[in-house]
Amino acid sequence: MPPLIDVRNLTKTYSLGEVTVRALQGVTLTIERGSFVAVMGPSGSGKSTFMNLVGCLDRPTSGRYFLDGVAVESLDRDRLADIRNRKIGFIFQTFNLLPRMTALENVELPLLYKSGETPNAAALARRALVSVGLSGRERSLPSQLSGGQQQRVAIARALINQPEILLADEPTGQLDSRTGNEILEIFVRLNRESGITIVLVTHSDEIAAYAERIIGFRDGRVVSDTPVKLAALRIGPAGIGAAAEAEARP
């Protein structure tokens, strides 16, 4: 089978007035199915631009991008939107939850963009919330949840369409270290137990240690590509549910 993600000589150039910014300069790499990859680099290195292209949120200036064997760089907007909805889940530093919707309703949102109705939408959303340790918080508003719990809702929302890929851009940036580690443990579980491919953008060596491979960017180029040994899962025998209960306690 072809690699899940295959980019070849990818470039992205922006024009800011009279200034030309070469955000990506000939990036070539592959990411296999079921991988957990961390993308690192200083500000302006091109890592977020790379993530946007992989997530079909933007188009390259030149080069090829094959997603699951399909060349996507020249697809029209509707086809790109369909791929994003079916194959990719997005998790960001800001949780992007709608404040007047419950956790369950926020998780259900991506189903509204699928063609046809999803008669078991509520059941699917509940299952996604259970998978991230939020059983019993379905009717909570974002304002009634901690930062870590809100990010769990965002992860559940990203999982609702059963994507092959999770793209996470600094997903622990607004969380304290303990809560951030709990979120990363969820990613490890999803990767190992469900086989979801995870691409995680981070500037932290400690966070990158959760991945199996670290790709380093600088000045729009890949400057390192290193397999790493997962240092420690740091998931206790009681698992994610116990961590969520501990977080909810005052």
Average pLDDT over residues 52-59: 94
pLDDT digits (tens, 9 = 90+) for 116-170: 666 788 999 999 999 999 999 999 999 999 999 999 999 999 999 999 999 999 9
Average pLDDT over residues 214-221: 96
Average pLDDT, the chain: 88
pLDDT at 18: 85
Which segment of 108-117, 200-209, 219-228, 234-243 scores lowest on mean pLDDT? 234-243
pLDDT at 249: 44
pLDDT at 231: 41
pLDDT digits (tens, 9 = 90+) for 174-190: 899 999 999 999 999 99
Q: For each of the domains in the chain, give its residue range(s) and CATH number, in order of start.
A: 33-51+88-248 (3.40.50.300)
Residues facing residue 81 across a β-bridge: none
Average pLDDT over residues 76-95: 91
Question: Helix axis angle, 177-194 relative to 147-159, nearest 10°?
Answer: 20
pLDDT at 228: 84
pLDDT at 115: 61
Percentage of residues of the chain with pLDDT beyond 90? 73
Q: How would residue 16 be classed by pLDDT, with cut points 50, 70 and 90?
A: confident
Write the secondary structure of the chain as one string of H (helix), E (strand) and C (coil): CCCCEEEEEEEEEEEECCEEEEEEEEEEEEECCCCEEEEECCCCCCHHHHHHHHCCCCCCCEEEEEECCEECCCCCHHHHHHHHHHHEEEEECCCCCCCCCCHHHHHHHHHHHCCCCCCCHHHHHHHHHHHCCCCCCCCCCHHHCCHHHHHHHHHHHHHCCCCCEEEEECCCCCCCHHHHHHHHHHHHHHHHHHCCEEEEECCCHHHHCCCCEEEEEECCEEEEEEECCCCCCCCCCCHHHHHHHHHHCC
pLDDT at 112: 81
pLDDT at 248: 44
**Residue 113 clears pLDDT 90, i.e. is over it:** no
